[in-house]
Amino acid sequence: MNEQKNNLQSRKRPSWIVVLLVLFLLTFALNFVQSIRNSTSQLQISYDQFLDLVEAEAVEMVYMDDTQIQISLKKELGIDEVAKILGAEEVPEGIQDFQNSPQKNVTFYTGRIDDPDIVSVLRDHDITFAQEIPEQTSIFSAIASWIIPFILMYLVYFLFIRMIMNRMGSDTNGILGGMTGGIGKSKAKVYSVEKSTGITFKDVAGQDEAKESLEEMVDYLKNPEKYRKIGAKQPKGALLVGSPGTGKTLLAKAVAGEAGVPFYHLTGSEFVEMFVGVGASRVRDLFQTAKKNTPCIIFIDELDAIGKKRDTGLGSNDEREQTLNQLLAEMDGFEANGGIIVLAATNRPEVLDQALLRPGRFDRRIVVDKPDLMGRESILKVHGAKVSLSSDVDFHEIALATSGASGADLANIVNEAALLAVRMGRQFVIQADLMEAVETVFAGKEKKDRILNPKERRIVAYHEVGHALVSALQKNAQPVQKITIVPRTMGALGYTMSVPEEERYLLTNDELTAQLTSLLGGKAAEIVQFGTSTTGAANDIERATELARKMVTQYGMSRRFGSMGLASTQNQYLDGRNVPTCSDQTGAEADEEIRKLIEECQNRAIQLLNENRSALDNIAARLLEKETISGEEFMELMVCHTDDIPSEI
């Protein structure tokens, strides 16, 4: 895959550290040169020594201020002469410098005392004197002392701000943007470009309707003239809607791959930063780059991160709204036949701003939902083709056992099975590896090191057999595939796997009630055998309550409310949350109805198990002995120990 990360910013940006270092060295060098030019040693002498120097005609010039007198000696003087005038026994240290300095510009100084005759004395000896010490300013020192420190401070300040912004994963704008040569450029790596994705529609299985809708776009990208001639306009954008892992990104890549055009991929959340304006500038930059490389596909993942409905309430987010406005403007800004197609993906279409969905923007909505039985089988085949398979592999069976799985889950199952085959030292993946992988993906790996005490093992065994038996004793329930009490890493201490014989799209009231009763079978078995229930039933209770709530509030399956809807589903493609649409009072009544329904099913489960105690005890004993029993073995044991088997089973 030929993936190039967009790195415009880092290519253009000069290294500020180097610039700073150069300036710093320059300042240092200038000051150094200046200090050599003006190198002046200062030596303090007493006032009478000063007068001695004056008397000895050694002084050339004197500068006076209110507190001190600076004395420049005549240059022709020798070191010993000066020492002699000063009456020093040894040559003072400062005079050494006087001697060595090429300009001999050692300055002596002394404190100013109140001496009214000093001026006439200096005049008598023809010494030049001045009141103020003149500043030795030059163009160099002016630069060194004013301009360069100012520039340095300026740079350090902006460098500091920039560093903070970068650390926040942000870009900068405005003055700083101008300074750093990147006004409004995207943060590096905010989007990735693939010249050719290498993925085609063949790699996407089980999404035939979605592929059909996208094929036209591929054709347009390949032959834009055909459309232009007749005056047909292609939709500028299409919104891929579906649960996570259903292949939305894969489909978008396949469109680019089929058409052989570049693929710009970015994620909605990467646009939006803390700083207002950054996201908008990134959108602008992305579209500018894309326009230079037409035809191409822009793919925005998680569109809901920027495309949420705008509001003016307190909680509104300026940055997100500006980013969205910019996206809307950009989508309007390019020609329908300009060669850019914007694909976006979301799993929360209901939160998107209406403006995004109007014609001319994301006017096509393509549902990429969880695959059905045939879809799952073909996805398994696509991924199965990449591994070595034994001839016993039956993908239909795996597809039946993976109802509700997404394409990503199925890809994961095939990979887990291949890993398992390697671990077992096999050359090929066998059916058992795939079945084990299904369990690994949904329940976690086996956790053999978790040792349960004998009492807990018995509870788990009865609990699981309770589920299986209640399920098998009802005519509308799904057949049991496997029962196990080997703990799994995702927390299950045991589980019962039921696999439907065929894919079902509609479920009747009776079937849902049977499902509810089976879910409560585990707790019922604990009550029947041990007279109490344990925390192990928590997940069953949660699922049972959710199902009962849907039956009462959404499916119109309660006697009390009949066909009245009391709730709606939100986040259909995520958790499918049930949100009440009724009054609080009706809600409380619905709760009561749900409680009754659950209680009825619980009692029914207890009754079924009480009527089949011998089957419950015997199968639980076998499960404790073997840890895992298959569906067939379970049915054999059940037939042996039960008289009351529904004729349909």
- Which residue ranges make up the annotated binding site for Zn(2+)? 463, 467, 540
Q: Which residue's CB is nearer to ligand ADP, number 262 or number 375? A: 375
Closest distance between ligand ADP and the C-beta of residue 240, in Å?
7
Q: Is 31 helix (H, G, I), strand (E, B) or coil?
A: helix
Instruction: Based on the shown chain and the rule CB under 6 A, indicate whether residue 349 belongs to the binding site for ligand ADP.
Output: no
Q: Which residue's CB is nearer to ligand ADP, number 249 or number 558? A: 249
Residues 6+ apart with CB under 8 A from 123: none
Q: Which residue's CB is nearer to ligand ADP, number 240 or number 629? A: 240
- Which stretch in 108-116, 390-398, 404-412, 496-504 sits in contact with ligand ADP by CB under 6 A? 404-412
Question: With b meaning 16 or more CB within 10 Å and e meaning fewer, what string describes 606-631?
Answer: bebbeebeebbebbbebbbeeeebeb
* Residue recorded with tokens 């009390």: 560
Select which of 464, 546, 625, 636 is catalytic.
464
Instruction: Based on the shown chain and the rule CB under 6 A, indicate whether residue 522 belongs to the binding site for ligand ADP.
Output: no
Q: Enter the tokens of residue 284.
A: 């602008």
- Out of 257, 268, 277, 407, point to the residue binding ligand ADP (CB under 6 A): 407
- Out of 184, 235, 247, 295, point to the residue binding ligand ADP (CB under 6 A): 247
Active site residue 464: yes
- Which stretch in 137-145, 180-188, 199-207, 527-535 sits in contact with ligand ADP by CB under 6 A? 199-207
Instruction: Based on the shown chain and the rule CB under 6 A, indicate whether residue 376 belongs to the binding site for ligand ADP.
Output: no
- Out of 190, 250, 520, 557, point to the residue binding ligand ADP (CB under 6 A): 250
Q: Which residues are annotated as a binding site?
A: 242-249, 463, 467, 540
What separation in angstroms does the CA of 398 have from each of 31, 244, 297, 394, 428?
80, 21, 35, 7, 17
Query: How far does CA 42 lie from the centroid of its chain?
Result: 65
Instruction: Based on the shown chain and the rule CB under 6 A, indicate whether residue 281 belongs to the binding site for ligand ADP.
Output: no
- Which stretch in 84-92, 245-253, 307-315, 547-555 sits in contact with ligand ADP by CB under 6 A? 245-253
DSSP-derived letter for residue 429 is B
Handedness of CA 403, 404, 406, 410 (dihedral sign): negative
- Out of 133, 183, 373, 408, point to the residue binding ligand ADP (CB under 6 A): 408
CA–CA gap between residue 535 and residue 560 (Å, rounded): 32
Residue window 24-53: x/- pattern of binding to ligand ADP, with contact defined by CB under 6 A: ------------------------------
Instruction: Based on the shown chain and the rule CB under 6 A, indicate whether residue 279 belongs to the binding site for ligand ADP.
Output: no
Closest distance between ligand ADP and the C-beta of residue 247, in Å?
3
Tell me the DSSP string of 447-482: -TT-PPPHHHHHHHHHHHHHHHHHHHHSTTSPPEEE
- Out of 85, 205, 296, 615, point to the residue binding ligand ADP (CB under 6 A): 205
Tell me the DSSP string of 437-450: HHHHHHH-SB-TT-
Instruction: Based on the shown chain and the rule CB under 6 A, indicate whether residue 411 belongs to the binding site for ligand ADP.
Output: yes
- Which stretch in 248-256, 282-290, 464-472, 561-569 sits in contact with ligand ADP by CB under 6 A? 248-256
Q: Is 113 helix (H, G, I), strand (E, B) or coil?
A: coil
CA–CA gap between residue 295 and residue 462 (Å, rounded): 63
CA–CA gap between residue 175 and residue 40 (Å, rounded): 44
**Phi-psi category of 228—alpha, beta or left, where left has phi over 0 and alpha has psi -120 to 50?**
alpha
Instruction: Based on the shown chain and the rule CB under 6 A, indicate whether residue 248 belongs to the binding site for ligand ADP.
Output: yes
CA–CA gap between residue 241 and residue 346 (Å, rounded): 5
Asked if 524 contacts 604 with a C-beta cutoff of 8 angstroms, the reply is no
Closest distance between ligand ADP and the C-beta of residue 379, in Å?
4
Closest distance between ligand ADP and the C-beta of residue 192, in Å?
14
Query: Which strand (E) or helix (H) includes residue 369?
Result: none
Instruction: Based on the shown chain and the rule CB under 6 A, indicate whether residue 373 belongs to the binding site for ligand ADP.
Output: no
- Out of 78, 244, 333, 404, point to the residue binding ligand ADP (CB under 6 A): 244
Closest distance between ligand ADP and the C-beta of residue 256, in Å?
13
Site for ligand ADP in 319-348 (CB under 6 A): 345
- Out of 27, 72, 110, 246, point to the residue binding ligand ADP (CB under 6 A): 246
- Which stretch in 31-39, 241-249, 550-558, 579-587 sits in contact with ligand ADP by CB under 6 A? 241-249
Q: Which residue's CB is nearer to ligand ADP, number 245 or number 277? A: 245
Instruction: Based on the shown chain and the rule CB under 6 A, indicate whether residue 254 belongs to the binding site for ligand ADP.
Output: no
Burial of 131 (0-12, 13-18, 19+ CB in 10 A): exposed
Closest distance between ligand ADP and the C-beta of residue 347, in Å?
8
Closest distance between ligand ADP and the C-beta of residue 201, in Å?
10
Handedness of CA 142, 144, 149, 154 (dihedral sign): positive
CA–CA gap between residue 64 and residue 132 (Å, rounded): 6
Asked if 297 contacts 263 with a C-beta cutoff of 8 angstroms, the reply is yes
Handedness of CA 457, 458, 461, 462 (dihedral sign): negative
Q: Which one, of 373, 372, 394, lies nearest residue 384 by Cα?
A: 394
Q: Which residue's CB is nearer to ligand ADP, number 205 or number 473? A: 205
- Which stretch in 204-212, 322-330, 333-341, 566-574 sits in contact with ligand ADP by CB under 6 A? 204-212
**Residues noted as catalytic:** 464
By CB under 6 A, name the binding residues for ligand ADP.
204-207, 242, 244-250, 345, 379, 382, 407-408, 411
